[in-house]
Structure 1
Amino acid sequence: MALKTRLRTAGRLLLLATALLATYLVSTAIAARIALRALEVRVPNLQGQALNDATASLMELGLRLRVEEQRRTDTRDAAGHIAVQHPEAGANARRGRNVRVWLSEGARTNIVPRLVGETERMAIAHLEQDGVRLAAMSEVRTDAYPTGMVVAQDPPPDSTGNAVSVLLNRGERGATYLMPDLIGVNGARAADVLRERGFRVAVVGQHPYPGVPPGVVLRQSPEAGFRIGPGEPISIEVSR
């Protein structure tokens, strides 16, 4: 009996020691995690700041600034100020860690190319090649310049800018006429007059119409009042 009692006591002591050891290990792990958390800080937002200001902000938190060589084209931040950072603002970082930053080289400024005298297609290709945006394209119709040529631009060539407006000549518009009302007139006579003026006239149908003599125009296309130019087709239907 004494031996069994001793064994039970030893077993209980062993279980108690194991439980105490497990409790110690868990407490140690929690304490280590808390200690590590105490070493972490929240990364501030450095975008747009000058290097001196960013360095001072990081030093207060125990972080270090590392400036990367490559710069970023940025229209929001002034040249020499921070454009991008890593880790991002709001992330957790251990004290002593580097925060990498890329400086802005400022908004890109382009040289406006010479577009006057170029065709529309060549002008657009030239702008795309030089990174300049086409802000607006206005049109003029004149015989003073070749059709499809750029005749003016703003700003002028060799100036600095990121956008340009151009004036394009679409060519002088040819003479136009109002389509006359042919209904009720002799179709053959109307066709002869229109053909003499350069129009293409075709009789596309003949229909019986009580009380109307043969050859009188019943329908026409385009209708009366439409504006047409020489060479455009005109179709008529006459009575038979």
Structure 2
Amino acid sequence: MALRTRVWSAGKLFLLASALVATYLLFAAAAMRLALTSREVQVPDLTNRTANEATAVVASLGLTLKVDDARRPHPKIDAGRVLAQEPAPGSIARKQRSVKIWLSAGQRSATVPLLTGETERTAQLRLAQDGLTLAAVSEIRSQDYPSDAVVSQEPPAKTASANVALLVNRGDRGASYVMPDLIGVNGDRAAEILRGRGFRVAAVGSTPYPGVAAGIVLRQSPQAGFQIGPGEPISIEVSR
């Protein structure tokens, strides 16, 4: 009987100790979570504040401020004011964490750079870097300028403007001819002359035509008057 009483007492002590340990662990976890939560703050929105104002705001929350040296132009935010930040506004951050900001350089002066002589791609990149708009691209074909080079620009360099138009040389297309009228001409003779000029001529068919001698051109492609270059194909249909 005494042994049973001692075992029962030991069991109660064990249960009591277990309950105390569980309670301690529960309160410890809650306290740790509370401590961690108390060290977290919501990142404020610093947009359009000065660097001094932003410093005061983050310091009041236990955060620090880091200002990037590079300033970015912005059409609406004045120079010296915050235009971007990291972490983003509304995000959760631990105290003592740094908030990085970028300051505005203000509105960039829209002065057109010298683009004449540059390639079209280089001119496009330069305009994008300067925040200018490529309004239009016109083309010429000439042997007097390098291919893909900017021949002229509007407005000229050092002019205040947000839009720029370019004239670009696409290079010489090479020799071209006007397709002659072959209808009614002897097909063999016409083909011989055209092949001598570098054209590829093929008779694609023959059709009986009353009153017309055999071998006379009845149809042609391209039609008379079209621009055509050496090496391009020409097809004719002759009578039989």
TM-score (norm: length of structure 2): 0.66
Q: Given the alignment of the two structures, is residue 123 of structure 1 paired with residue 119 of structure 2, yes or no?
A: yes
Q: Secondary structure at the match of 2:45?
A: coil
Residue type of the alignment partner of 1:132: L
Q: What RMSD over aligned residues (CA atoms) do the two structures have, in Å?
A: 4.3
CA distance in 2, matches of 1:2, 1:230: 121
Indicate the percent of aligned positions where both proteins have the same amino acid.
Answer: 33
Q: Give the corresponding residue for 1:187.
A: 186
1:204-229 CA deviation, whole Å, 9 max, x = no partner? 367362634223323222235x5236
Q: Give the corresponding residue for 2:102.
A: 103
CA distance in 2, matches of 1:17, 1:230: 102
The answer (yes or no) to whether the contact 2:86–2:100 under 8 Å persists in 1 is yes
Q: Give the corresponding residue for 1:71.
A: 70
1:20–1:200 distance in 2 versus 1, CA, 3 Å: closer
CA distance in 2, matches of 1:108, 1:156: 18
CA distance in 2, matches of 1:3, 1:157: 107
CA distance in 1, matches of 2:205, 2:7: 126
Q: Give the corresponding residue for 1:132.
A: 127
The answer (yes or no) to whether the contact 2:48–2:82 under 8 Å persists in 1 is yes
Cα distance, 1:153 vs structure 2: 0.8
Cα distance, 1:98 vs structure 2: 3.4
1:6–1:163 distance in 2 versus 1, CA, 3 Å: same
Q: Secondary structure at the match of 1:131?
A: helix
The answer (yes or no) to whether the contact 2:204–2:235 under 8 Å persists in 1 is no
Aligned runs of 1:135-146 on 2, under 5 Å? 135=134, 136-139=136-139, 146=144
Q: Secondary structure at the match of 2:167?
A: strand
Aligned runs of 1:152-231 on 2, under 5 Å? 152-159=152-159, 164-168=164-168, 180=181, 182=183, 185-187=184-186, 191=190, 204=203, 207=206, 209=208, 211=210, 212-223=212-223, 226-228=225-227
Cα distance, 1:26 vs structure 2: 1.1
CA distance in 2, matches of 1:167, 1:103: 37
Cα distance, 1:13 vs structure 2: 2.0
8-17 vs 86-95, greater mean Cα deviation: 86-95
1:2-32 CA deviation, whole Å, 9 max, x = no partner? 2431332133123212212321221232133
The answer (yes or no) to whether the contact 1:71–1:105 under 8 Å persists in 2 is no
Residue type of the alignment partner of 1:123: T
How many residue pairs get aligned? The number is 225
Cα distance, 1:127 vs structure 2: 2.6
Unaligned regions of 5+ residues in structure 1, if any? Answer: none
Residue type of the alignment partner of 1:6: R
1:84–1:188 distance in 2 versus 1, CA, 3 Å: closer
Residue type of the alignment partner of 1:30: A
Q: Given the alignment of the two structures, is residue 58 of structure 1 paired with residue 58 of structure 2, yes or no?
A: yes
Residue type of the alignment partner of 1:102: I
The answer (yes or no) to whether the contact 1:72–1:102 under 8 Å persists in 2 is no
CA distance in 2, matches of 1:201, 1:23: 98
CA distance in 2, matches of 1:14, 1:104: 64
Residue type of the alignment partner of 2:97: N
